Structure 1
Amino acid sequence: MKEHAHSPAQALFRRLFVINALVFAAGTLVLALSPATVSSPVLLAEIPVLAIGLALILAANALLVRASLAPLTALTSLMQRVDLLHNRDRLREDGNGDLASVVTTFNQMLDRLEEERASASAHALAAQEAERGRIARELHDEIGQSLTVALLGLKRTRDRAPAELTAELEHTQEAIRASLDEVRQVARRLRPGVLEDLGLHSALTALATDLSQTGSVHVTRSLASVPPLAADVELVLYRIAQESLTNVARHSGATTAALTLAVVEDGEVVLRVTDDGRGGVREHGAGIRGMHERALLIGARLGIHSPPGGGTRITLTVPGTAKEPTA
C-alpha cells in the first residue's frame, strides 16, 4: 500500500529525469556533430553560440516539463473551486500521463466525500422532518386543544355575562380564535399532512393559496400532472417550493409570484418559482444552501437566477429516474 502511494511521485521523478536527460543529450549531440567548437579560454565570438545553445536547451526543457505538470495545474484549479453541493465536477483521467493515477485518486476522493455528505444530509433532514412532525403534533394536540377548550369556556362565560362585558369577551374570543388558526397554520407548514393525504398537486395548490390569502403576494399557479414520484422526491419538491414562496413573502418585496410544475423531455420534472421582486438573492444564504442540500439528496439540479432589480427565478429539475418504483 505504501509503495503504491509513492508510485505517482516516482513516476513523475522518472519522467522529469528522462526529459532532462534527453534534452541535455540532444544538446550534447548537436554540439558534437556541429562545426561549432569552443576554445579554451572561450573566445568572444563563441559566447553567442553558447548562449543560444543554452537558451534552446532551457526552452525545450521548460516546455516539456510544463506539459508534464499541466495536470497538476488543473488539479489545483479544481481544488479551489470544488463545492460538494454542486456535484460531478471532475477532471478527465485520460491524457494525464504518469499523473493519471493522482487524478483518478482525487476523483474517487470527491466521490466518497459527496456520498458521505449526501448520507449525512439525509440523516440530518430526516431528523429535521421527524422533529417538525413532533412539534406539529404537539401544537395540534396540546396547544390547539387547550385553545379550543379556552374558546368554548369563553363562549359559556359570554352567554352568562352581563351585557357590558359581552363586547370585551367577544373581542377575547376572536383573539383566541385567531391564535388557534395561526397554530393550525404553523402545524400544517411543519407537517404537510395534505402532501401525505392528497398528494403533491394538492399540497402545492395549498401553498400557493395560503400565500395569496395573506394579501401580500398574489401567486398564480400552473401545475401539470406528473408521473408517480417517490415519497422523498415529493417531499423535496414540496419543501423547496415552500422555502421559495416563504422567501418571496418575507424578503423579495414582490407583489406577484408564479408557481409552475411541468414534465419536460426525458421525463424530467421541473418545479419553478418566479417573482417580480428586487432580486439579488445571495447564493450562500442558509435557506439557499438548505435547498441545494435537499436537491442533492435526490440527484436533482437547483438553479437560481436573481439579477439585482430583476426578480428571482428558482428552478428545480428532477431527473426522470426519480419515479416511484413499480411493483
Structure 2
Amino acid sequence: MSLFWRIFALNAVVLGTATALLLWAPVTVSVPVLLTEAIILVGGLVVMLVANAALLRLGLAPLDRLTKLMTTVDLLRPGQRLPASGGREVAEVIRTFNAMLDRLEQERATSSARALLAQEAERRRVAQELHDEVGQSMTAILLGLKRASDDAPAALRRQLHEVQEITRESLDEVRRLVRRLRPGVLDDLGLVSALTSLTEDFATHTGLQVARRFEADLPALEPETELVLYRVAQESLTNVARHADAERVTVALRHTDDGMVLTVTDDGCGIKAPREGAGIRGMRERALLIGGSLDITPASHTGTRVQLTAPASRKQP
C-alpha cells in the first residue's frame, strides 16, 4: 500500500468510527445547540483528533527514524542502517538511503586510503630530504666549527663551542623530526621496537611518566597495519601532551582472537567536549583503512583511554 492510501485508510478508520458512534449513540443536536450537546460534540472531535494523530505517528514512525539517522550519521562510524519497515514507499526510501550509505562509506574509505597513502609518501620524501640535505649540511657545519675552534685563539674558542652546541641541538631536533615523519625503526625492527622508541622519545621531551605493557611473542603484522598502529599511538601521545594535563601515560599492546589491540591511557583531565578534532578523525580514518575500530572513552578513574582494535592479518612470508 502506498503512503497516500495508508494515510487515507487511517483517516477513514477514524471518521468511520466517529460516524458509527453518532449513528448508534442516543445523541441529538438541537437548534440552538444545547451546552451538553456541544460538550459531547467537542469531546468527540478531540477523541477523533487524538486517535488520528496516534495512528499517523504510528504509520510515519519509520520516516521519523530515517530523519533522525540522517541528522546523526557519521561515515567514520560505518554500519549505521535502518530496517526497511513501513509501507511500500517508506520501505523503498529506507532501502535507497541504506544503499546510498553503502556507496558513501565505500567511496570515503577509498578516498581516505588514497589520501593517507599520499600523506605517508610525502612524509617519507620530506624525511629523506631532511636527512640527506639538512642533516648532512649541519653535520658538515659541525665538523667545520670543530676545525675552526681547534685553530682559534682561546677568546674565540668559547664562542665557537657555544655555536657548536646550538648546531648539535638543532641537528638532534632535525633527527627527531625525521623519526616522527618516517619511523625507520618500524621498517627495520618491527612494531614493538618502534613503539618503545616512540614512548622513550615522548617521555624525554615531555617529562611525563610512560609505562609500556607489551605482550610477549606478538605476531608480525602487515606493514600497513603496523604503520596504522604506530600512527594512532603517536597521535594519541601528542593529544596527551597538548590537552590532557596528565602526569602518567600507559601504552599497552596485546593480541586477541579478533586481532591486535593498542591502548593508550592517561590520568589527565579526561574528555571535556564531545566534538572531535582533526586528530581524532584522522585516527578513525586510519582505523577504517585497515578494517579496524577506534574507541575513545573515559578511563576507569580519571583521564582518557584510546583503544584501537586491528584485525588479525599476519604478515605474509
Report the TM-score when normalising by structure 1: 0.85
SS of residue matched to 1:222: strand
1:217 CA drift (Å): 1.1
1:176 and 2:202 correspond: no
Letter in 2 for 1:150: I
Contact 1:87–1:114 (CA under 8 A) maintained in structure 2: yes
Q: Distance in 1 between matches of 2:315 and 2:108?
A: 25
Q: CA–CA distance in 2 between the matches of 1:237 and 1:289?
A: 15
**Distance in structure 2 (CA, Å) of the matches to 1:206 and 1:31:** 85
Partner in structure 2 of residue 243 of structure 1 = 235
1:256 alignment counterpart: 248
**Residues 217, 71 of structure 1: CA spacing in aligned structure 2 closer, same or farther, 3 A cutoff?**
same
CA contact (8 A) 1:231 1:324 kept: no
Output one character per residue of 1:19-78: Cα deviation in whole Å (capped at 9) or x when no partner: 22233334334444x263646757636545544544443333222211111111111211
Deviation at 1:242, TM superposition (A): 0.6
1:78 matches 2:69: yes
Q: Match of 1:5?
A: none
Aligned pairs for 1:155-234 (under 5 A) are 155-214=146-205, 216-224=207-215, 225-234=217-226
1:57 & 1:286 partners in 2: Cα distance? 52
Match of 1:310 among 273, 294, 302: 302
Change (3 A) 1:43 1:173: closer
How far 1:248 moved relative to its partner? 2.2
SS at match of 2:176: helix
1:45-194 to 2 correspondence within 5 Å? Answer: 46-93=37-84, 95-98=85-88, 99-194=90-185
Among 258, 263, 270, the residue aligned to 1:267 = 258
CA contact 2:222–2:316 (8 Å) conserved in 1: no
Instruction: Give the match's secondary structure for 1:106.
Output: helix
* Partner Cα distance (1:108, 1:262) in 2: 36
Contact 1:281 1:306 in 2 (8 A): no
- What letter corresponds to residue 85 of structure 1 in structure 2? L
Alpha carbons of structure 1 residues 26 and 306: separation in structure 2 relative to 1, 3 Å:
closer
Aligned residue type for 1:132: R
Work out the CA distance in 2 between the residues paired with 1:234 and 1:281. Answer: 30
Is the Cα contact below 8 Å between 1:216 and 1:249 reproduced in 2?
Answer: no
The one-letter code of the counterpart of 1:71 is P
The SS at the match of 1:214 is: helix
The answer to whether the 8 A contact 1:276-1:311 is kept is: yes
Paired residue total = 312
Whole-Å separation in 2 of the counterparts to 1:215 and 1:31: 82
Identify unmatched segments of 5+ residues in structure 1: 1-9
Structure-to-structure mapping, 1:17-36, within 5 angstroms: 17-32=8-23, 34=24, 36=26
Give the C-alpha shift of residue 227 in structure 1.
2.8
SS of 2:213's equivalent?
strand
Give the distance between the partners of 1:64 and 1:262, measured in 2 at CA.
53
SS of 1:96's equivalent in the other structure is coil
Contact 1:280 1:306 in 2 (8 A): yes
* 8 Å contact kept, 1:211–1:218: no
Amino acid at match of 1:303: D
Quick check: 1:281–1:312 contact (8 Å CA) kept in 2?
A: no
Say what the alpha-carbon RMSD is for the aligned residues: 2.5
- How far has the Cα of 1:211 moved from its partner? 1.5
2:218 aligned partner, one-letter code = V
What SS does structure 2 have at the residue aligned with 1:86? coil
User: 1:191-221 deviations in whole A, cap 9, x for unaligned?
Assistant: 1111111111111111111112236112110
Give the residue type in structure 2 aligned to 1:96: G
Q: Indicate how the Cα distance of structure 1 residues 56 and 149 shifts in structure 2: closer, same or farther if over 3 A, else same.
A: same
Post-superposition Cα deviations, 1:176-204, rounded to whole Å, max 9, x if no partner, equal: 12211111110111011111111111111
3-state DSSP class of the match of 1:258?
strand
Task: Determine which of 281, 284, 288 is the counterpart of 2:276.
Answer: 284
